[in-house]
Chains A and B, each alone.
Chain A
Amino acid sequence: MGLVESGKMPAPLTKLLNIGRKYSLWMYQWGLACCAIEMGAVIGSPRYDVMRLGVIPFPASPRQADLVVISGTVTDKMVPSILRLYQQMPDPKYVISMGSCANCGGPYWDSYSVTKGVDQIIPVDVYVPGCPPRPEALLEGIVLLQERIMNEDPAARWRGDPIVVD
């Protein structure tokens, strides 16, 4: 990808590359609590079936993943593992925070052991609200993320521009 790294990529090529990226997201599932079951329904249930959106679950390692779904309550004990997971993922990487607990602490907003929002430690692209969100809500979150990827300019990073997303 010399074109990308030079920072001068023609617009049609950008679009083509983005279509390729958005329909081949490898999704690493970081299932923690109740939301993990709804995420499991998204992956495993024929009724929801995330693969039709071009999202491939179960990568062997976070090093192969493009997208991580943090689903469930993030406790303070879990934080180092999540940070390490995020650092292991190759760029460009995306994070979906699923459920109220991962968004902001949810029903455990006054608990002593719960991290109030995973966005305190890693940047989050899409927040999926709900306790737990229905599987359809996670599917919509993935669709929103795909829209976001579609509007990105992969060459911006090499030009040194701040990445602006409409």
Chain B
Amino acid sequence: MTAVGADQRQQMAYVATQAADARLNVEIETEGMTLNIGPQHPATHGTLRLVARLDGEQVVEAEPIMGYMHRGYEKLAEVRTYPQVTTLINRIDWLGSFANEVPFILAAEKLMEVEAPPRAQWIRTALFELSRIANITLFLGDMAVQLGALTPVFMAFRDREFVLNQIEAATGGRFHPNFDRIGGLKDDLPQGWIDDTKQAMEKMRDFCDEFEELVLGNEIFQARSRGIGIVPAEVGLAYGLSGANIRASGVDWDLRRDGHEALAYDQVDWKVWTHPDGDSFARYWVRLQETREATHIVDQLLDGLPSGPIMAKVPRIIKVPAGEAYAATENPLGEMGYYVVSKGDLVPFRVKIRSASFSNISITPWLLKGVYVPDIITILASLYFILGDIDR
């Protein structure tokens, strides 16, 4: 064993670094690698599968593979009566269940030429907004957990219970209310519900304030979401994005205000939030503001709730006259519409479902081109899709 002098050691270290550099240079010219994410991955909100071709750390091409949650709603709706279809379509976007029923019921009401009484419309709108809050609170926690912050998801699950309690108290269903009927609602509100809901809305506003500081004010969250996954407005429109995803790109478009459905949004004072940036941060920001706005909408609706019946006169056995109708509303995930074709039967002849997530996810191959691997998770989380809404 020979002793190694100081200068000799320095020379060896120099040679080692040179060799490492040489190795690195070889490594940079990588071969392509295929990365499979899913079909079961926490970042995919269920069962989306993403096949990404990588060059080193960059995505060359990414392709979403769907169909792992395809349950055949459109075909099943052809053999269900109209009230049964309502039960079924609750489960499309399972986080905001009540919001799924409303456009279908509105389309059927258009065909039957009945209109729900004002009280039913107001309660419908209030429950619609409650399900929006229940839906988006989970997104607010979930995107944070995917960027590495574990606490927000626990807080989201905790505070979401307040809203679910109110939905359950009014409808009897914690998750899938199945409360909407053609011509109105199943029941009136229970006693004391309005005050309880206002308290719950107060709590949700605190939740939003808390998240604005905790998540949006977080330096790491900003570093990982600002400038990531920018969707220019024209590209977003070309891909058919809707909801908060397109509003985060600066497009001032909201079916609650711009649609023509028989809901009580024009009776209350509220604002459509937009953000000019179009990146992941903007999408989170817009959804947070919308949640807070929804609590204000619910408060105003409950203050001015008109009295009267909650059910229009409809026959006991519902036969919808022949015709076609389309109704779309601004669901928590974006535009959701039902195109109902009736041949005058107990069952619809055909129901075409336009769900928001399907269009929202279609932009991913464009959006994921050239991003780094960790940003795939950020972009998927911020686009916010629900698998039942994609595959139907």
List residues of chain A with CB under 8 Å of any chain B CB.
Answer: 30-34, 36-38, 40-41, 44-47, 72-73, 75, 77-78, 81, 107-108, 110-114, 131-132, 134
B209 CB-CB contact with A under 8 Å: no
When distances are taken between beta carbons in the complex, the residues of chain B under 8 Å from A131 are 176
Within 8 A of A (CB), among B171-214: 174-176
Interface-centre pick from B40, B79, B87, B88 (highest chain A CB count, 10 A):
B40
Q: What's the minimum C-beta distance from B176 to chain A, rounded to whole angstroms?
A: 7
Minimal Cβ-Cβ distance residue in B for A32: B47
**Are B153 and A44 neighbours in the complex by a CB distance under 8 Å?**
yes
CA distance A32 to B386 in the complex (A): 11
Give the Cβ gap from B46 to chain A, nearest Cβ, in Å.
7
Q: Which residues of B contact A (CB under 8 A)?
A: 39-40, 46-47, 67-72, 75-76, 79, 87-88, 91, 94-95, 138, 153-154, 157-158, 160-161, 174-176, 387-388
* Measured CA separation A146–B319 after assembly (Å): 50
> With contacts A37-B175, A38-B175, A111-B75 known, is A45 near B154, CB below 8 A?
yes
User: Of all chain A residues, which has the CB nearest B145?
Assistant: A44
Contact between A47 and B161, CB atoms less than 8 A apart: yes
Determine if B69 and A73 form an interchain contact, defined as CB atoms under 8 angstroms apart. Answer: yes
Question: What residue of chain B has the Cβ atom nearest to residue A132's Cβ?
Answer: B175
Interface centre among B68, B87, B95, B153 (most CB of A within 10 A): B68
Query: Can you report 23 residue pairs joining A to B where beta carbons are below 8 Å apart?
Result: A31-B46, A32-B46, A32-B47, A33-B46, A34-B176, A36-B46, A37-B138, A38-B175, A41-B157, A44-B154, A45-B157, A47-B161, A73-B71, A75-B67, A75-B70, A77-B67, A107-B87, A108-B71, A110-B79, A113-B70, A114-B71, A132-B94, A134-B174
Distance of B85 from chain A, by nearest CB (Å): 11
- Verify A46–B158 contact, CB threshold 8 A: yes
- Closest A residue by C-beta to B66: A77
**A33 neighbours in B (Cβ, 8 Å):** 46, 69, 91, 94, 387-388
CB neighbours (8 Å) of B388 from chain A are 33-34
**Given A34-B176, A37-B94, A45-B161, A113 and B46 contact (CB-CB distance below 8 Å):** no
* A34/B154 in contact, CB under 8 A: no
A88 to nearest B CB, angstroms?
12
- A113 CA to B138 CA, complexed, in Å: 28
Instruction: Evaluate contact between B40 and A46: CB separation under 8 angstroms.
Output: no
**Is there contact, CB below 8 Å, between B69 and A32?**
yes
Cβ-defined contact, B76 with A111, below 8 A: yes
A97 to B336, CA, bound (A): 31
CB-based contact B40/A81 at 8 Å = yes
B47 and A78: CB pair below 8 A? yes
On chain A, the residues within 8 Å of B67 by CB distance are 75, 77
Q: Tell me the smallest distance from the CB of A51 to a CB of chain B, in Å.
A: 12
Q: Which of B46, B69, B76, B160 has the most CB of A within 10 A?
A: B69
The 10 closest A-B pairs by CB, nearest first: A34-B94, A45-B157, A44-B157, A111-B72, A113-B70, A108-B71, A113-B72, A78-B68, A77-B68, A46-B158
Contact B39 A81 (CB under 8 A): yes
Choice from A30, A47, A81, A113 contacting B71 with Cβ under 8 Å: A113
Q: Is the CB of A47 within 8 A of B158?
A: yes
Please, which residues of chain A bring their CB within 8 A of the CB of B138? 37
Contacts A46-B154, A77-B68; is A37 near B95 (CB within 8 Å)? yes
CA distance A36 to B386 in the complex (A): 12
Task: For A34, list chain B residues within 8 Å (CB).
Answer: 91, 94, 175-176, 388
Most buried by B among A31, A44, A111: A44
- CB neighbours (8 Å) of B94 from chain A are 33-34, 37, 132
Query: Are the C-beta atoms of B40 and A30 separated by less than 8 Å?
Result: yes
CA distance A72 to B95 in the complex (A): 14
In the complex, chain B residues whose CB is within 8 Å of the CB of A134: 174
- Please report the C-alpha to C-alpha distance between residue A132 and residue B87 in the assembled complex, in whole angstroms: 13
On chain A, the residues within 8 Å of B47 by CB distance are: 32, 78
- When the two chains form their complex, are residues A112 and B75 in contact, meaning their CB atoms are under 8 A apart? yes
CB distance from A16 to the nearest CB of B (A): 34
CB distance from B173 to the nearest CB of A (A): 10
